Structures are given as C-alpha cells and as structure tokens.
Structure 1
Amino acid sequence: MTTLKKDSLLKGTLILALAALVARMLGMFQKIPLDYILDAEGQYAFLAANNIYLLLLVIATAGFPSAISKMVSERMETGRYEEAKRIYKASLVFGAVSGLLLSSLLYFLAPMYATDVVKKESITLAVQAIAPALILFPIIAMMRGYFQGRQMMSAGGISQIVEQFARVIIGLGLGILFLSLGYSDTVSAAAVTFGSVFGSIAAFAVMVYYARKLKKQDARLAVHSSAEARAALQPNLPYATNSSMKLKFRAIYSEILKMSIPALITSMTINLVYMFDTSFFISITEQVYTDERATEAFAALGTKAQSLAGIPPILAIALGSSIIPIVAAAFARKDQAEVNKQTSMVLKIVCLTGVPVALFLTASAYSVTGMLFASPTGYETVAMLCAGTILQITMMTSNSILYGMGKQKQTMVNTIIGLIGKIVFSTLCGYYFGVAGFIIGSTICFLIVTLLNLRLIKRDVTLHVMGKKWIPYLGAVVVSAAACWGAEYVMLNITEGIAEKLSYLLTVLVSGSILCAIYGILLLKLNIITAQDVEALPGKLRGPMRKVMRVLRAGQSG
C-alpha cells in the first residue's frame, strides 16, 4: 500500500501553483467555445453565474484553507495532535452548515439578484443552476486546508485539477446537448453552469479518497510502527495524545475567521471587480446603451476580454506562490539583504515577462480575438482590458511580497481602498463611457493597490528593480509594441484574400514573433538584463541565455 508523505516546501509550492494555473487556464478557455454556441443573452447568463462560481472558488482555495493549514500545522509541530483533529472536525461541521446555508440563499435569492440588481431576469436559471455546487465547496475547502497543514499538498492540488476538468468538460457537453434538443440559449447557459456541480462532486470524491487513506495510515502507524518508522514516514506527526481540555468550536471558528478574512479579501480582488461589472453593468450604462447593445457589450467584456486578460498574470500567480515562503523565511531570520534581493528580483521578473504578454494582447487584439472567437467584434474592449493587466500583475506580485512579510492586514486595507476606487470610477465613467468606463475603473483599482503596496514594501525593503534602466526599459516597451502593431497591420493586409481564421493565425504568429525578438534584443543590447539576472535563472534557461548574451555582446563590440 502506498504511503502518503509530506511534500517539501518547493514541491508543495509547485503543486499548488500548478493547480492554480490549470484552474485558471481551463476557466479562461471554457469561454471560447461559448462565443460560438451561445448568443449574447446566453453568454451574459453564463458570465453572471460563472463570476459567482469563481468568487466561491477563491474562497475554497485561498482564505479558509490557508487559515486551517496554519492552525493545524502549528498544533502538529508542537505535539497537540488531538487539537489538530478537533480543528479538522470543527471545520468540517462549519463547512457543511455554511454550504447548505449558502446554497439555499443563492438559490432562493437568485430571482431577486437577477431582476433588482443585474436588471436581467434571464440570468435567474443559470445562477440557480450553480447553487448546488455550494453544498460541497466549503467542505472541500476545509479538507484542503487540513491536508496543507499536514504538508500534503498533492491531495488539494489533484482535487482542484480534477474539479476543473469535470466542470469544463461536463458543462460544455451539457450546453451542447441542450442546444441540440432545441432549448433556448439562456437555458443552455444554465446547463453549462450546472457543470460546476459535477466539478464539486469530483473534487469531493478525490478529497474523501485521500482522507480515508490518511486516516487508515495514521491508525496503522500509531498501532504497528516503531517510533523510527513513524518519524521517517510522518516527521511532523506526534502520536502521543494529550489530556488537555478540548478546544471549543467557538474558539476554533473565531481563530479561522480572524486568520482567513485578510487573505480572503485580498485574493478576491479580481473576482469582486468582475462581480461588480456583472451586477451593475446594465443599470449604470442605461444612458449609453440600449438593453440589447448593453448585453452585447458585456458579452464582449466578459467572454472575450476577461478571458484573454487572464493570460498575462499567470506567471505572477506562480511567482507569488513561490515568493511567499522565501520572503517569509528571510524576513523571520532578519536577513534584510536576502529580503531586498528576492523582492527586487521577483518584481523585475514580472515586469520583464508579464509586460510583453500584455503588450502583445493589446497591440494584436484584433487578430487574437478573431483567431480565438467567432469574430473580432469587441477587440477594442480586449485591448483596453489587457493593457490594464500590467498593473494587475504588479498588484498581485506586491500582495504576495507583503504576505511573506506578514503584513496581511495592511494589504487587506489597501485592497479595500482600491475596490472603493473601482466602484466610484466605474460608476462615474461607466455612466458616460459605457464599457470603457468600467475598464477605467478596474485599471484605477489596480493602480491604487499597487501604489499603496509599494509604499508599504519600501518601509522595510530597499528595492532595486531596474535602477537607472527604467527609461531604456520603457523605450524597449514602446518600440516593441509599435513593431507588433505595425506587423499586425501589414500582415492583415497581405493575407486579406485568404480564409479569415488562417489570416488571423498567421498575423498572430508573425506579430508575436517580431515583438518577442525586438523586445528580447533590446533588453540585452540596452543592458536591462544583466549577467547577474541570467545567473539567477533556472539551470535549463541559464545556458542558452549565456550564449545569446555572448553573441549580442560580441555584435555590440564589433
């Protein structure tokens, strides 16, 4: 029988980062076929329900699991195994009760949310279809937290990936089936969202499998194994019970909420921004659009722009997962030089890697949108939102750095201030400029949080991100973006006579290649990327980058 073992810090981080990336990618690309099979009304219904689902997914994968993980880990390390089990039991009860309550509330309040808030009664069924998924989500979140506390990240990571595959595949299958049977687009959209219920069942089945396996293993080791064998298999597992008074559930719940709320609010920033857009787009833009035009404009925003805008921050998510334990360890041992180095390095990496992706999606928005979706309609919205993701990347990365520094509460305050800015500016600008106003509000939100976070970081950290290379770097950005846009314009004209999808594909390949080539050459020629930066890269990238730098340096000297 295989044994569940602790994951190392690096392995655990990679597992969680991979699960988050898979979930994000599947969530993004689920929307692409919807542009082909659903009309704008059906897409709006799906987006309204899906944004609620994504908000709940953040709760299930960020706030509560992190709090329970920390509580369980602390007890296990100090030999209070019975307290850890008590916390697990209390959290499962909390998850079951809150799941039933939230599911019932969402189902019965869906009509009121649709008619009074969103001003679109057609979304009711889609929102109600996702409500049953809430029954299991809180329980799954608690189980993931317990396994993380036992330093077994694989269970939560695998359950998250299985959940996403089941949700996307079954949901799309149900949507296509309902459409083929002659149901309306809004009913078919509800069928797509019902895939989330199957996703939650699949994730729960995975967690139950691992929970039963761990329970049997603990019992077997406690009874039959020697102390040495137990230590080798589970170094953090104290098998001696203690006779202290049982923790009260009330105290456990208080500790969970106190620890999880700051992380929860910060992690929900993007989802709350998108929920605001979904909920108030129709009512705020009624002076700009007719109801039909507003539905089409939001479908372009939600289905196309938000899908593509999720691509640039992917690396920031992975780096954020990796940087938290590194900065936390350096900060705890008061190694200021290491904190300065790691913080500056991660900010430089996200600038150098995230910005060109956002630039490409902005400059080549027409061809990228036309290639992936049914038509390039709404590419202006895609370009505007993708341009703003540059600030979203810096916001997410600075959040992770502050987490590592133990400043969760201050980060939460910064996030709340940014969200208030989003509400104010989206309301005002949306009233006059429609969808562009909502994007302006989102971008201002990311900017506010980024500036507040950087000000907070600089109190304890000396940053050396670009140094004196900011002006050359911005020059490289502008030149690369201009070259990309010019290449797209030329390619669209050259390929005008061939099939549209092939034209878009060729344009994307050429414009993207030109941007990457010019951007990379300028970074090296202008010494924005230095030898020290190359040495900090992973081993597989370090060798090729050394050769590229030698060639360019030789050409420069010649």
Structure 2
Amino acid sequence: MNPSFINFGGRYKLLSKDSLVKGTIILALAALIARVLGAVQRIPLIYLLDNNGMATYSNAFNIYMMLLVVATAGIPSALSKLVSERTALGQYDEANRIYKAAVLFALTAGAVMTVLLIVLAPAYETISKVPATALSIRALAPALLLFPVIAIMRGYFQGRQRMAPNGLSQIVEQLLRIVVAVGLAYLLLQIGWGHDWAVAGASFGGVAGSVGAVLVMLYYGMKLKREDRRSGETGNRTPVARMSYGDIFRKLFKVSVPIVLFSLAVPLINAIDTTITVGLLETDIGHAAAVDALGILGGRAQSLAGIPIILAIALSQSTVPVISSAFAKKDMATVNAQASKALYISVITGLPLVLAICAAARPINIFMFGDDSGTGIIAMLTAIAVFQIVMQTSGAVLMGIGQMRPLIVHVGIGIVVKLVVSFLLAPVIGIYGIIAATALCFIVMAQLNLVVLRKHVDYTILGKKWTGLAFTTLLAYAAGFGLELLAHRYVQPFGYRMSHMVDAILVGGVAFGLYIGLLALTKVVTAEDVARLPGPLRKVMSRFVRRPAASSGNRG
C-alpha cells in the first residue's frame, strides 16, 4: 500500500488508519450537514415561490450542478494525489507549482462554463418548457467562476491532509446560500419585482455561497502558508525534475476525466428529469400541473432522496485507496476483502435512513413544506436511493482496480435506459413512470458494475444473509408505516405542522431503531461484522451485538 504521510516539523510519519477514517468522517459529516441545510433551504423557498417557482429553481440548479461536475469532478482527487506525493518527498515548491497550474485550469474552466450558461440559457428554457428558467440560470452562472477554484483548493488541502477547511467551507457555503436565497427572494417579492425575479434571486444564493466558501479557503490557505514558513516547509528538500504545465495538465486529466464521466451520472439523470418532465406530462395533465409536478420532484423529493446516500458512499469509499494499492501489488486477498467491506458498509448504512424517510415521508413533507403534495414521489425516489448507493459504490471499486472503460459504458447504457423507459412509462403512469425509469437506470448500472467486478474480484456483500436483511427491511418499514397511519390520525397535539414534526421524529426513529435492532436479532450483523465497521458505527452496533465468549476474530 502506498503510505500516506503527515508532516511534523519536517519529519514525516505514516498517517494512521484511524486518522484516515477520521478525515473521511469529517468530510462525510460536513457533506451530510450541507445536504440537510440544502433540504431545509427548500422550506421557506417553497413557501415564497410555490411549486411552480421551485420547478424553475430546480431546472436552473440541476443544469448548474451538471456543468459544475464537468468543471470540477476528479480534478481535486487528481490534485490531492500529486500534491501528497510531492509533499511526502519534501518537494514543496513543486507541489505549489502543481497547485498553481490547477488553479489556472480552474479559472479557465469556470469562465468557459459561465459563458456557456449565460449564452445557452434561453435555448434550454425553450427545450424544458419551464418559464423564466433562463433568468434563473443566468443569476446562478457567476458561481461557476469560483467553484472550480474552490474545488482545486479543497484538493490541495486534502493532499496536505487538512480536512477541516474542506468541511467548514461546505457548511459556510450552504449557510450563506440559504440566507441570501431566502432573503433575496423575499425582498424582491416585497418590492414588487415579481415571481420570476424572486426565483432568480433565490438562484443567486449559490453565488453568495461560492463567495463564502472561497473566503474560508483563502483564510486557511494563508494560515497554512504561515505554518509552512515557521516549520521550514519551503523549497525542495529532494532533487526533482520540474514538470511542465503540459505534463501537469496531462496527469490531472488522465486521472480526472474518467471520474468526471462517472460523476456525471446522477447530476445528468436529475437534469434529464427537469428537462423532459413537463414535455412528457403536459399532454395528459396540462402545462400548469406538469410544472407543479416538476416542482415537487425537484424542490422536495430530490433534496430528501439525496440524504441517505452521503454517509454510506463516503464511508465505503474510504476503502477505495486501499483497493487501488492492493490491486497494483496483486494482493488479491486484500482487494477481495476490502471490496466486500465497501459494498457491505454501503448497503448496511444506506438502508436505515432510506427506511426512516420512506416511512415518515408524509409527516416530513407536511412539516417541511406545509402540505402532503407529492408524498408518494418523495417516498418512491428515496426508496430507489438504495440502488444508487450500490451503483456508486461498485463504481468506486471498479475505479480502484482500474476498470474505467466498462464503467463509462455502463453509465451510457443507464442513461439510454432512463430516456427510453421515461418516454414509455410517463404517458401511462405520469411522474411515477419517470421515477421508475430512474430506478431501472440505477438497477441496470449497478448490475452491470457487479457483473464486471465479479470477473476481477471475489467479493461477497451479504452472502446468505440477504433473506435476513429483506425481513429486517420489510418489518422495520411496516412498523414505521403502520405507526405513521396511527400518528397521523391520533398524534396531533401541537397544531398542524409541529404535530407532524413530532410524527416524523417518532416514525423515523422507530423505523431506524427497529432496523438496527433487527440486524442483530436476525444475525445479519454479527460480532465479526461489527469489528470491520468504521469506529463510530462499531460503537453503535456493539451495543446491540454481543461478542461470543470465545472471540472468533476479525473476518475482513
């Protein structure tokens, strides 16, 4: 395994596995907090803009996210790798030179993407059939000037083993986004600029968030520079042949382009939904109702369905560098064990939040958004997050063993499936046909990934425990759903919205807790399984799973 280093006064020590896991946990929790804040942001926005306004907002946001992935995904990972290698060897000037080259690329990419958004916004509005989309896209476009630079800075800090700046910048970004988006939307409505400008004002919150994030990164950048000067971490301690900017860009692109293509899968699917939904539905239900359905899908369901994915993916991907290193050394025993661990963790940790949100979809919807419109859409889109988790985790493992070409082919096949099935099912079952197409898309990509993975890796996810997991899942959901029916009718002590907040906590908590308890009862998770979970999860599960008197050791 390639060692990870951290510097202490010019001496390099191996970074412990616990530290690596802690770094992963920091980023995962920051991403989870940011995603929750993003979902919370939708509450006042839906009140101010209604579902039609959220359709426009989601349209602009999904296109922006897709271009943001193109401009940034993969580059931070590639930069982190190059910087960490040079820093570990004491080649500080070369590490900084690579960083400057990446910043130059980021500024160029950001400028190009911003111009593209501004110029092509009217054409996209025509295609999507959602009014005022062009205005909202143009209001959000300047954020792309900064976010590629932010991504590069995050990659640099990750390469220097500084995770706190990355996590804090995500949280500050979301907080500023919320304050400015809600504040501008409210202000523009109050001064009479109208609904379309209010939506554009909400979109401009993304620009404010980018400014906040880059200020956080600049502060930590200056702080790190001072630390380097005090500790003498300047110049090149070891001889090094300077890389040309051309060589740097080639290395960055070699690593990043496949990651970009794979990372585009989910933003592209969301963008497809916001592009085709109105056109597919308006013939049967009318244009206004179609826009309303899109507002629910983009404004409510997509924000909530994204929550269960974050922690599961972050935890499972912490093993991918180990897989990559072991595969390079042809240590297939480690590859098999770590691939199995990644897939196992992603499934086990992804399901409880999926169950909690699905079971409590109605009270969550009412508490957050004021009514139960689209509860079925929220529950269905959240349920298929399980397939997305498996797709992304299996894809990450394929990256670890260098199988990028089939991975990209699978994404292409999945997108084709998504489009074809959407056009076939939407005229029959409406918005649920579009969601079913998304589910089938993730299932196909996940299955293709697993088939190719099986040719190279002898992995096991749950083995003979799938029956126990299915029983656990069904029972936990049934209990939560049944409790929700009772709570909706009988537990209303604090008024409409606050009572449903209580219901959501009660129902989600029961579904979540019952799932954890049943995992131990059905022996889906044993003492041996607990031992291979990350620290925080190990502490939780150890309360439910008792280790036998004669310890059987660690399997993974």
TM-score (norm: length of structure 2): 0.87
- Alignment partner of 2:456: what SS? coil
Partner of 1:385: 381
1:25 maps onto 2:55 in alignment: no
Partner of 2:61: 50
Are the structure 2 counterparts of residues 551 and 267 from structure 1 closer, same or farther at C-alpha, using a change threshold of 3 Å? closer
1:434 maps onto 2:430 in alignment: yes
Of residues 16-25 and 474-483 in structure 1, the stretch that sits farther from structure 2 once superposed is: 16-25
Are the structure 2 counterparts of residues 353 and 90 from structure 1 closer, same or farther at C-alpha, using a change threshold of 3 Å? closer
Distance between the aligned counterparts of 1:444 and 1:258, measured in 2? Answer: 31
1:239 maps onto 2:237 in alignment: yes
Conserved? CA contact 1:126–1:193, under 8 Å: yes
Unaligned runs of 5+ in 2: 1-7, 550-556
Conserved? CA contact 2:345–2:533, under 8 Å: no
Distance between the aligned counterparts of 2:96 and 2:115, measured in 1? Answer: 29
Distance between the aligned counterparts of 1:181 and 1:61, measured in 2? Answer: 37
Of residues 37-46 and 10-19 in structure 1, the stretch that sits farther from structure 2 once superposed is: 10-19
- Alignment partner of 2:479: what SS? helix
Partner of 2:175: 165
Distance between the aligned counterparts of 1:514 and 1:120, measured in 2? Answer: 40
Are the structure 2 counterparts of residues 4 and 107 from structure 1 closer, same or farther at C-alpha, using a change threshold of 3 Å? farther
Conserved? CA contact 2:64–2:137, under 8 Å: no
Are the structure 2 counterparts of residues 98 and 496 from structure 1 closer, same or farther at C-alpha, using a change threshold of 3 Å? closer
Partner of 1:468: 464
Amino acid paired to 1:48: N
Distance between the aligned counterparts of 2:338 and 2:152, measured in 1? Answer: 32
Q: Percent identity?
A: 40
Distance between the aligned counterparts of 1:159 and 1:551, measured in 2? Answer: 41
Partner of 2:5: none
Shift, 1:356, TM fit: 3.2
Are the structure 2 counterparts of residues 319 and 546 from structure 1 closer, same or farther at C-alpha, using a change threshold of 3 Å? closer
- Alignment partner of 1:285: what SS? helix
Shift, 1:270, TM fit: 1.4
Distance between the aligned counterparts of 2:162 and 2:514, measured in 1? Answer: 44
Are the structure 2 counterparts of residues 104 and 302 from structure 1 closer, same or farther at C-alpha, using a change threshold of 3 Å? same
Unaligned runs of 5+ in 1: 554-558
Conserved? CA contact 2:147–2:210, under 8 Å: yes
Shift, 1:385, TM fit: 0.8
Distance between the aligned counterparts of 2:88 and 2:512, measured in 1? Answer: 48
Shift, 1:416, TM fit: 2.3
Are the structure 2 counterparts of residues 83 and 376 from structure 1 closer, same or farther at C-alpha, using a change threshold of 3 Å? same
Amino acid paired to 1:121: P
Distance between the aligned counterparts of 2:77 and 2:155, measured in 1? Answer: 6
Number of aligned residue pairs: give it. 536
TM-score (norm: length of structure 1): 0.87
Pick from 73, 83, 102: which aligns with 1:91?
A: 102
- Alignment partner of 1:287: what SS? helix
Shift, 1:93, TM fit: 2.3
Partner of 1:556: none
Pick from 174, 183, 186: which aligns with 1:176?
A: 186
Are the structure 2 counterparts of residues 39 and 539 from structure 1 closer, same or farther at C-alpha, using a change threshold of 3 Å? closer
Distance between the aligned counterparts of 1:395 and 1:499, measured in 2? Answer: 41
CA offsets per residue over residues 523-547 of structure 1, 9 Å max, x none?
2232222121233345666567555
1:523 maps onto 2:519 in alignment: yes
Are the structure 2 counterparts of residues 11 and 549 from structure 1 closer, same or farther at C-alpha, using a change threshold of 3 Å? closer
Are the structure 2 counterparts of residues 163 and 490 from structure 1 closer, same or farther at C-alpha, using a change threshold of 3 Å? closer
Are the structure 2 counterparts of residues 521 and 152 from structure 1 closer, same or farther at C-alpha, using a change threshold of 3 Å? closer
- Alignment partner of 2:437: what SS? helix
Amino acid paired to 2:105: F
Pick from 62, 67, 71: which aligns with 2:78?
A: 67
Shift, 1:77, TM fit: 4.7
1:36 maps onto 2:56 in alignment: no
Of residues 191-200 and 66-75 in structure 1, the stretch that sits farther from structure 2 once superposed is: 66-75
Amino acid paired to 1:286: E
Amino acid paired to 2:508: G
Are the structure 2 counterparts of residues 118 and 329 from structure 1 closer, same or farther at C-alpha, using a change threshold of 3 Å? same
Conserved? CA contact 2:355–2:512, under 8 Å: no
Amino acid paired to 1:173: G
Conserved? CA contact 2:54–2:296, under 8 Å: no
- Alignment partner of 1:528: what SS? coil
Shift, 1:297, TM fit: 0.5
Distance between the aligned counterparts of 2:131 and 2:265, measured in 1? Answer: 26
Distance between the aligned counterparts of 1:306 and 1:385, measured in 2? Answer: 7
Conserved? CA contact 1:69–1:146, under 8 Å: yes
CA offsets per residue over residues 510-533 of structure 1, 9 Å max, x none?
433443454344322322221212
1:201 maps onto 2:211 in alignment: yes
Residues 4-19 of structure 1: pairs in structure 2 closer than 5 A: 9-19=20-30
Pick from 376, 392, 395: which aligns with 1:396?
A: 392
- Which consecutive aligned stretches of 4+ in structure 1 deviate over 6 angstroms post-superposition? 3-7
Are the structure 2 counterparts of residues 499 and 373 from structure 1 closer, same or farther at C-alpha, using a change threshold of 3 Å? same
Conserved? CA contact 1:320–1:401, under 8 Å: no
Amino acid paired to 2:528: Q
Of residues 64-73 and 510-519 in structure 1, the stretch that sits farther from structure 2 once superposed is: 510-519
Distance between the aligned counterparts of 1:516 and 1:21, measured in 2? Answer: 17
Alpha-carbon RMSD across the aligned residues, in angstroms, is 3.0
Conserved? CA contact 2:316–2:341, under 8 Å: no
CA offsets per residue over residues 338-368 of structure 1, 9 Å max, x none?
3333332332333233223223322332222
Are the structure 2 counterparts of residues 492 and 206 from structure 1 closer, same or farther at C-alpha, using a change threshold of 3 Å? closer
Distance between the aligned counterparts of 1:371 and 1:169, measured in 2? Answer: 20
- Alignment partner of 1:298: what SS? helix
Residues 57-136 of structure 1: pairs in structure 2 closer than 5 A: 57-59=68-70, 62-77=73-88, 83-115=94-126, 117-136=127-146
Shift, 1:78, TM fit: 5.4
Conserved? CA contact 2:140–2:203, under 8 Å: yes
Shift, 1:130, TM fit: 0.7
Pick from 205, 210, 216: which aligns with 2:220?
A: 210
Distance between the aligned counterparts of 1:52 and 1:238, measured in 2? Answer: 43
Distance between the aligned counterparts of 1:210 and 1:500, measured in 2? Answer: 45
Conserved? CA contact 2:410–2:445, under 8 Å: yes
Partner of 1:536: 532
Shift, 1:550, TM fit: 5.1
Distance between the aligned counterparts of 1:496 and 1:215, measured in 2? Answer: 56
